[in-house]
Structure 1
Amino acid sequence: MIGLRHTRMLCDGLHSILLTALVSFVSTCHAQSAVEMQETGGEVHPPSITACVACHGALGEGTASGGPRLAGKDADYLARALTTFKTGTRANGVMQAVALDLSDSEIHELATFFSQQNPPLAAGAAAPSPDMVIAGRQLAELGAGPDVPACFSCHGAVGKGNGARFPAIAGEPAAFVVARLHEFQARAKKKSPAPGTMTAVAVMLNETQIEEAAAYLSITRP
């Protein structure tokens, strides 16, 4: 049977061990947080962001080479996009490979993180001509006849997006807008598009209009 003195000594020893372990744990966490903040400019990023920044920029601003802008987009839209890439219902070889290994919680974290960012426009692209910007603005705000509605009629005022279905398009790099509209046009050649869809609109655009819309959106701050 252990005496009272020995019991107190044992409790004091355990308390000392636990206290030391706690201090060590807190110090380690603090050091890791400091490294994270130093590497990310004071912001703690989701663990899977390293798979995103190469194509989408450090804060999702997009890239001049055509990486789409993620920053500021609706979180539900981003989560839905990642989920459809993961399940294969939306085809893109690069994105499907990335999304396949993401858990539901990681998808949610990434979507929330990028939806809260507001970095400057992607740098590096040549400035578009004023004439193209003016023509692109007319397409975005007014459309071009009955078959080409204004971009902002679906994508929200000034292209800031409209819920989970219509993503923000303001600030998208011109190279991405051109490539995406070409993708819709290619899709229309394989299957007749449903009325009112982006595919149906894109097929009515000529190359000049595509480049004009891309020019205007690329310099429009979200």
Structure 2
Amino acid sequence: MKRRVLRWSLRGAALALVLALGGFLVAVSGIVPVGASGGHWAITEWMLQFGKRRSIATHTLFAEPLELDEPWLVLKGAGHYETGCRPCHGSPDLPSPRIAQAMLPRPPYLPDVIGERDPEALFYVVKHGLKFTGMPAWPAAHRDDEVRALVAFLLAMPELDADEYLELVHGEAPHDTAAGALPDLVEPAVVPDVVAHHCARCHGTDGRGRGVAAFPSLAGQSREYLERALVAYADGDRHSGIMQPIAADLSDADRHDVAIYYAGLDAGAPVERVGPQERIERGEEIARGLAERGAPSCQDCHGPAEWARNPAYPRLSGQFADYLELQLELFRSGHRGGSQYADLMHHVAPRLTPEDVRDVALYYASLTPSHDDARAER
């Protein structure tokens, strides 16, 4: 009996070796076509699709339900979809991108197939990408908040027509991205081409971030801070699957022009009204420092204060509360990154509780922005 088992084991091993050697010789010969124009055999296509579906199902089996409650998530996801996804997957105003039609496998037109996937499966594919398809993983592996935003948009896209899609993606920015004059200024400023083409769609030509926390308000930020932030994105030191590809595509002169333009805009009134008042007041106490926890004063670096701040530090007054809260949470988790000064926050943010983070974000969102924050008022 033992000899029979041994004999069959040896035969099995020999067969496996022959098959492996045969596969290697076929690969070496180069006779297997790899051209996308030839398509797949039906059985190959079936196996690939079946294997993909089973892999996604297995890896999302115990996934936590996605939270997609933030009202600005869809808008944030739309901005990235236009840049990173539309060229292959199309959109309500471009159902069939020409180049994508010649890819193998052909990227699906997503409004037709989104209903076949649950949010957790979409999250998995967007975050991790798909092998053998050209679908990349999310460029910033730890930015699940950005992935959630894109999933929220994908779920909303099937209900959009072409005009609604363009309005969501571009807002008041011109769809042809042509530069022009910025209205409603005493001395109208010319919008640089780089702003019109790369920035206005999300941040607006007025720098107010389209009025919701999907995008930060940039108007009145210092040139030094904005330029350093763009360099950090481009170099991968500040992590964002949305901003990294855009910033990396800009030249040094482009980044300088963007920073100069947005720094020169009037920050105006707070971008949103927040409350309740007792939480804003507690946030002000936190901004003055929590000595018992070793958390220094926020105001020393970010204002409002009676002295000039380091222009490399961002102005927080009048910024969106949800945006500030997200940045602090990223610092708390060690996933924020930034310029050479970002390390300072990695020692401060972990000393704050989630409640502290929300309250201090509400406090800064309630302040009136100013260029120097010397005497910002609520």
Give the TM-score of the pair, scaled to structure 2: 0.43
Q: Relative to structure 2, which stretch is displaced further, 170-179 or 126-135? A: 126-135
- Match in the other structure for 1:92: 240
Matching residue within 48, 55, 70 for 2:202: 55
The alpha-carbon deviation at position 104 of structure 1 amounts to 1.3
> Do residues 113 (structure 1) and 261 (structure 2) align?
yes
- Match in the other structure for 2:317: 170
Matching residue within 258, 283, 288 for 1:136: 283
> Do residues 36 (structure 1) and 183 (structure 2) align?
no
- Note if contact 2:203-2:217 (Cα within 8 Å) is conserved in structure 1: yes
Q: 1:154 to 1:145 in 2, by over 3 A?
A: farther
1:158-203 Cα deviation digits (max 9, x unpaired):
4998234321111110011110011011117xxxxxxx82111111
- Note if contact 1:152-1:159 (Cα within 8 Å) is conserved in structure 2: no
Map of 1:190-209 to 2, 5 A cutoff? 197-209=344-356
1:115-174 Cα deviation digits (max 9, x unpaired):
111233464x56310101111111113445351111111223349982343211111100
Q: Secondary structure at the match of 2:215?
A: coil
For 2:262, the aligned partner's letter is F
1:47-90 Cα deviation digits (max 9, x unpaired):
11132233323322234224222222221221111112112222
Q: Name the count of aligned residue pairs.
A: 180
Matching residue within 292, 300, 313 for 1:153: 300
Percentage of pairs with the same residue: 27
- Match in the other structure for 1:210: 357
The alpha-carbon deviation at position 103 of structure 1 amounts to 1.5
Q: Secondary structure at the match of 1:48?
A: helix
Matches of 1:52 and 1:122 in 2, distance apart? 21
- Note if contact 1:160-1:167 (Cα within 8 Å) is conserved in structure 2: no
Q: 1:159 to 1:48 in 2, by over 3 A?
A: farther
- Note if contact 2:328-2:349 (Cα within 8 Å) is conserved in structure 1: yes
Gap runs ≥5 in structure 2: 1-178, 336-342, 370-378
Q: 1:80 to 1:70 in 2, by over 3 A?
A: same
Q: 1:107 to 1:89 in 2, by over 3 A?
A: same
Q: Secondary structure at the match of 1:179?
A: helix
Matches of 2:302 and 2:250 in 1, distance apart? 28
Q: Secondary structure at the match of 1:36?
A: coil
> Do residues 103 (structure 1) and 217 (structure 2) align?
no
Map of 1:64-83 to 2, 5 A cutoff? 64-83=212-231
- Match in the other structure for 2:373: none
For 1:36, the aligned partner's letter is G
Matches of 1:160 and 1:221 in 2, distance apart? 17
Give the TM-score of the pair, scaled to structure 1: 0.71
